[in-house]
Structure 1
Amino acid sequence: MAGEQSTSMQAVQVRDFISDIIESYEQMPMELPRYLLAVLGPAIVFFLLSVAGAIALPLPLLVRIPVFLLGVLLLGGAVLYPRLLVEQTRRSLENQLHLLITHMTVLSTTNIDRVAVFRTLAREEEYGELATEMNRIVQLVDAWNQSLDDACQRRAREVPSKPLADFLDRLAYSINAGQSIDDFLLGEQNAMIQKYITVYESALGNLEVMKDLYLSMILSMTFAIINAIVLPILTGTDATMTIGAVIVLFVFVQLGFYFVIRTMSPHDPLWYHQREYRTKANRQIDITLYGAVGLSITMVLVLALGTFNLTPVGATVRPIMIELPIPLLISTPLTPLAVPGIVARRHEKRIGERDEEYPGFIRALGASETAKQSTTTAVLKTLKTKDFGVLSREIARLYTRLRMRLDPDRSWFFFTAETNSYLVQKFSEMYNVGRSMGGKPKLLGELISRNMNEIIKLRRQRKQSTVTLIGVLYGITASASFAFFIGLEVVEILASFSTEMNLDSLQFGTLIYAGVYDVPFIEYMLTLIILFNALLSSLMIRMVDGGHKANAYLHFVMLVWVGSLMAVATSSLAGALISV
């Protein structure tokens, strides 16, 4: 009985999954006939060619299987892409829903019309898909003369995000019942933040599942590459072709996981990026990045001169290059790229400290403005003497600009730009706009402080997930590099054993096919796969932690060195064992 229920549940899940895929084709921005002709059709053709090639081509089995799996992978990606696109849209709607509702609440407490609240939010480009949804509601009201509650109900039936649909439904019901929008939104804050916490934690949980699945798949692909390295010495097949085919499949598997993790990661950026004003942190990162790239290019050119033995510089470098292992030669020119990552991490630590101090500052600012019934400048004169940690410097500079009669909007802009914090920028903009439109400072300060504290708690959980992911990726890099090069060393040992024992004269030469290997070229291929693994792993880390792009450079360099040192250590250890 239990088995039948389990089978029935699985059948229902499969049916729901298929129906979701079919529905996603209807929600694509591209027209269905065009997608079938431009994407799905070529994918089907490639799949059929891969099946035919795997059956008909005179290739070894280890090459046929990756060819077939590559066709399956591309066809599966083409079939599931619309679903991934809908999922990405859903996540983009839910990732910033808490900020939009908070912003809506701030605007609703001012003296503007309730439709003007939606019109203001529709102009906020940073909200992405949410701003598009707000604009659609405004268009239904302005162009089609629908009431606000009808427009909200209509969009609630169309959006792919259930939390947003539920919010619009409740908002429409409250407006239709005669409740003011500010009363509804103030009462909605707790429910909103709890839903956001649920969505955020669900995303982190999905990342944990993907991390385990990624670990399993990479270990399986590592085992496949080891087989591709070792088996040709026993079968006599072309080792370079076999290894190359498995490496291509390895690359596609990693790319697939990268895009899935990119889709699942919660959108919670740490940095506030703007083009009008280059802060000290941005200047330092840019200078170190340009210098690191220039130094890396110079080192690559020097190695190129040494490779072709050109100029006196090349003649001097060439003997050193001959002595160094290939992984170290490739890793060395990349090392300077770690410097901008180190600088970015130092600034990110300070941004995190500013985020921790900001809720206390904005709550104190709102309460003091309400209690004293005075301007922001007068309140900041007292607050700038308080200890707000690393945020104190920016508060003092904000006070100085306001006291010099600089435009308040520009003063707050420079304040948020110098903090480099995305949350500080968004919440400061909300507070400043709400304050200038007649909102109550104490209510605004408490609302912003409470919501930001919840986000900071979630960021701590995200940091723990990121640390775990970093450990897994570094461990995978080290173990995969060890496995690759130990397999190559086994092949070299067997080849040398065949040569020393002169198996050809003993009529056992056909047992070992040492001539099918181009060992230096295969070593280059394995080193390149270490580089590619380091590149995608560093991008995954950056995607999950939400930090600066320069963080990816630091992890890229470190992962390359971990893989390279493990490769060199493996080769040295194997050589030492042979000599013993």
Structure 2
Amino acid sequence: MSSVSYEKAFKNLGMEPKAYLKKFALPIIGFGIFFALLMYVLLPTLFVGPAQYIPALVTVICFIFAFAYPLSILGAKASRIDNNMHYYITQMGSIATAETPRLDIIRIVSENDDYQELAEETRKIYDLVTVWNLSLADGCRFISKRTPSIIFEDFLDRFAHALQSGEDVKSFLFAEQNVVMNEYESMYNGALYAVEVIKELFVSMVMSLIFMASFAVIMPVITGMNAELLMGIVVVVFLLTDLVMVVFTKNKIPKDPAWSRSKLLTSDKLKMYRSIPISIAGCIVVAVLVTLYGKIETSIAVAMIFTPLVYTGYVARKIEKSIRRKDENFPAFIRSLGSSAGARGGVIDDALRALRAHDFGPLTKDVNNLYKMLVTRIDKMTSWEIFSANTGSNLIQRFSVMFVEATNLGGKPEVIGDIIATNFHRIVTLRKKRTQSAGSLVGVLYGLTGGIGFTMYISLGVVGLMQDMFSAVEMPPGMSMGMVLYTNVGSMDLLANMVLAIMVGHSLMSAILIRVVDGGHMLSATIDFVIMVWISGASAVVTMAAVSSLLGIT
């Protein structure tokens, strides 16, 4: 299995294994070995004891990277293909209703740039048929052996078999709607299960980092080590771990953005972008007021300064909620439009006029605007592009284009509407599961933030208490407190600020992680970020007050 994967990987890279070894792998490995030797020669005193393995570790990492790179590129390409398969099969099924020749179906989907690598793979099939005179079945089989996606590979094998057996292409593509959507659902559910595993892994790693941070605070009292250096290392390790988890989760989760990627500047986008300078101005004003007042705890002051960002998050989340409601209403709209247009001989304008009497929730206003654009003789495709951009939904944008394109080719609107509505509804159902998964993650991360704050600030409180107590103790002549404990561990204010930096950085990464899992806009993450910063600030104040009260510090 591994050799087959490497074979596909090198084909996708467009390189022979020997060429890859000479041009890429050997230089990387050589750099790792050279770097290790250079460190041992130039800094022999630095890398002693356990540290002597660090340069060698760089060499090992270079080895792993050189051999893992082709497979990682292959996996990333497979993921991008899989993330477009549900759109791909829906478009093919919609086009087929117009009795479009099978080679033209391949050509049309290959020209859709939204499919990225999937369009490239399909274009290769088209070129094999038109340039190299292969049959369509042979072209499909040729690409199926080289494509990194298992879902696409299986589809091409089934398509090739159907073509060779003489099965009607339209019937085959109709049947494939359910098959491919089932495979996409399995992939999606598998990714959501991976999120649950990542959640448990994240909690475990953060708990380990909490103990490491507590160790970095308390250990200098016992050993005399530089507390500020240790805490600096903890800050870097903590934030790097959070960043790695965000990147890892982003690679595992399906690329299914809720927001439209249209370049048209809609009223909702303007509203959201205008909220950004307002929030930033609010942060600056609060920062000035807090600085002038000067009697607020640092952790609370930081939370207050970031609070105006909630406005941008609120605007983004309100728009996002409207987008999700429109997504829920779109299947009913497109199915009704298809049925109505089919009954009127395929005339979309007349069907839309009849549908204006119906209520499609938040989508009703956009439907009315679409009808107005069509009756004023604005270009049909442009009207639908404006309609989909105004809804703000990525799903509506992608499926609306398919509907218009297929009906323009002479397809049956009622069949097209039914195909799109069915597949659309299944995707919306999967998205609801994803939202639920993100919702459970929110509770975990909020609780984890409070736990981090409590543990780290109680460690700071205890160290501060010990430093104050023992510095006030008078020792007999000839004895030093340093013989027992190291009372000078550095500036407690600096250590507290470093802990606060960890809390703020962790809050930011956690907020981004929630949005990565949720699939929403990153600007709506500011609400979660501000809430977690407030949890951090509150835990700091409450914990330090509790430590002072319980241990009798005045």
The normalised TM-score by structure 1 is 0.86
Deviates more, 1:332-341 or 1:391-400: 332-341
Q: Following TM superposition, by how much is the alpha carbon of 1:325 offset from its aligned partner in structure 2, in angstroms?
A: 2.4
CA distance change for structure 1 residues 40 and 337 in 2, over 3 Å: closer, same or farther?
farther
SS in 2 for 1:579: coil
**Deviation readout 1:167-198 (Å, 9 max, x if unpaired):** 01111111122223222111111111111111
Q: What is the aligned counterpart of 1:484 among 434, 437, 456? A: 456
Q: Contact 1:51–1:71 at 8 Å: present in 2 too? A: no
Report the CA distance shift for 1:129/1:52 in structure 2 as closer, same or farther (over 3 A). farther
1:140 to 114, 117, 128: 128
Corresponding residue number in structure 1 for 2:114: 126
> Is 2:374 aligned against 1:402?
yes
Task: Specify which of 99, 119, 122 is matched with residue 87 of structure 2.
Answer: 99
User: Contact 2:441 / 2:514 at 8 angstroms: preserved in 1?
Assistant: yes
Instruction: Find the partner of 1:88 among 76, 83, 93.
Output: 76
Which residue of the partner structure matches residue 515 of structure 2? 542
Unmatched segments (≥5 aa) in structure 2: none
1-side partners of 2:42 and 2:234: how far apart?
Answer: 15
Aligned position for 1:205: 193
Inter-partner Cα distance in structure 2 for 1:67 and 1:240: 23
Structure 1 residue 518, shift from structure 2 partner: 2.3
**1: CA distance between counterparts of 2:32 and 2:5?**
21
Amino acid at match of 2:434: R
Mapping of 1:484-563 within 5 angstroms?
484-503=456-475, 507-563=480-536
1:256 maps to which of 225, 244, 248: 244
Query: 320, 334, 338: which is aligned to 2:293?
Result: 320
Report the secondary structure of 2:373's partner residue. Answer: helix
Question: Matches of 2:421 and 2:351 in 1, distance apart?
Answer: 18
Residue 189 (1) aligns with residue 177 (2): yes
| One-letter amino acid of the counterpart of residue 560, structure 1 | V
Alpha-carbon distance, 1:60 to partner = 11
SS at match of 1:457: helix
Counterpart residue number, 1:36: 25
After TM superposition, give the deviation of residue 242 of structure 1 in Å. 1.8
Residues 1:435 and 1:176: Cα distance change in structure 2 (over 3 Å): same
Q: Any conservation in 2 of the 1:25–1:32 contact (CA below 8 Å)?
A: no
Alignment of 1:21-32 (within 5 A): 24=9, 27-28=12-13, 31-32=20-21
Aligned equivalent of 1:162: 150
Identity across the alignment (%): 31
Distance 2:305 2:64 in 1: 35
User: Quick one: distance in 1 between partners of 2:548 and 2:59?
Assistant: 40
Q: Secondary structure at the match of 1:201?
A: helix
Secondary structure at the residue paired with 1:514? coil
TM-score between both structures, scaled by the size of structure 2 = 0.90
SS at match of 1:261: helix
Matched letter for residue 94 of structure 2:
V
Equivalence map 1:329-348=2 (5 Å):
329-348=301-320
Do 2:470 and 2:481's aligned partners in 1 also have CA atoms closer than 8 Å? no
Measure how far apart 1:230 and its partner are.
Answer: 0.7
Secondary structure of 1:270 counterpart: coil
* 1:223-302 to 2 correspondences below 5 Å: 223-275=211-263, 277-297=264-284, 302=288
Q: Distance in 1 between matches of 2:2 and 2:483?
A: 52
> How far 1:573 sits from its partner (Å)?
1.8
- What is the SS of the residue equivalent to 1:324? coil
C-alpha displacement at 1:547, in angstroms?
Answer: 0.9
Task: Measure how far apart 1:531 and its partner are.
Answer: 2.0
Matching residue of 1:10? none
**C-alpha RMSD of the superposition:** 3.0
Where does residue 421 of structure 2 map in the other structure? 449
Contact 1:150 1:172 in 2 (8 A): yes
Q: Is the 8 A contact 1:542 1:552 kept in 2?
A: yes
Task: Check if 1:218 corresponds to 2:206.
Answer: yes
How do residues 111-122 of structure 1 correspond to structure 2 at under 5 angstroms? 111-122=99-110
The letter of the residue matching 1:163 is: I
SS of the residue 1:515 aligns to? coil
C-alpha distance in 1 between matches for 2:47 and 2:126:
63
Q: Once the two structures are superposed, what CA deviation does each residue of 1:253-273 show, in whole Å capped at 9, x if it has no partner? A: 222222110100111111112
SS of the residue 2:225 aligns to: coil
Change (3 A) 1:473 1:38: farther
Q: 1:282 to 1:83 in 2, by over 3 A?
A: same
1:367-410 Cα shifts (integer Å, max 9, x gaps): 11112325111111111101211111111111111122222112
C-alpha separation in 1, matches of 2:233 and 2:250: 26
In the alignment, the residues of structure 1 paired with residue 466 and residue 44 of structure 2 have an alpha-carbon distance, to the nearest angstrom, of 31
Q: Distance in 1 between matches of 2:63 and 2:217?
A: 28
Partner of 1:423: 395
* Of 352, 359, 368, the match for 1:380: 352
CA–CA distance in structure 2, aligned partners of residues 253 and 564 of structure 1: 22
Q: 1:570 aligns with which of 543, 546, 550?
A: 543
CA contact (8 A) 2:36 2:59 kept: yes
Q: Name the counterpart of 1:12.
A: none
Query: Is 1:180 matched up with 2:168?
Result: yes
User: How far apart are 1:108 and its partner, in Å?
Assistant: 2.2
Which deviations, in whole Å up to 9, do the C-alpha atoms of 1:462-494 show, x marking residues without a partner?
111101111222222211122121111111111
Q: How big is the shift at 1:99? A: 0.9
Closer/same/farther in 2, CA of residues 236 and 51 from structure 1, 3 Å limit: farther
- Alpha-carbon distance in structure 1 between the residues aligned to 2:261 and 2:385: 12
| Equivalent-residue separation in structure 2 for 1:568 and 1:344 (angstroms) | 31
Change (3 A) 1:382 1:122: same
- CA drift at 1:81: 4.9
CA distance in 1, matches of 2:302, 2:163: 64
1:99/1:73 CA distance change after superposition, 3 Å: farther
Contact 1:54 1:67 (C-alpha < 8 Å) held by counterparts? no
Task: Return closer, same or farther for 1:319/1:370 CA change in 2, 3 Å cut-off.
Answer: closer
Q: SS of the residue aligned with 1:516?
A: coil
1:39-95 residue CA offsets vs partner (Å, 9 max, x unmatched): 55555666788999999549998xx69979996996698364544433222221111
Do the aligned partners of 2:218 and 2:463 also contact (CA within 8 Å) in 1?
yes
Number of residues of Structure 1 aligned to a counterpart in Structure 2: 547
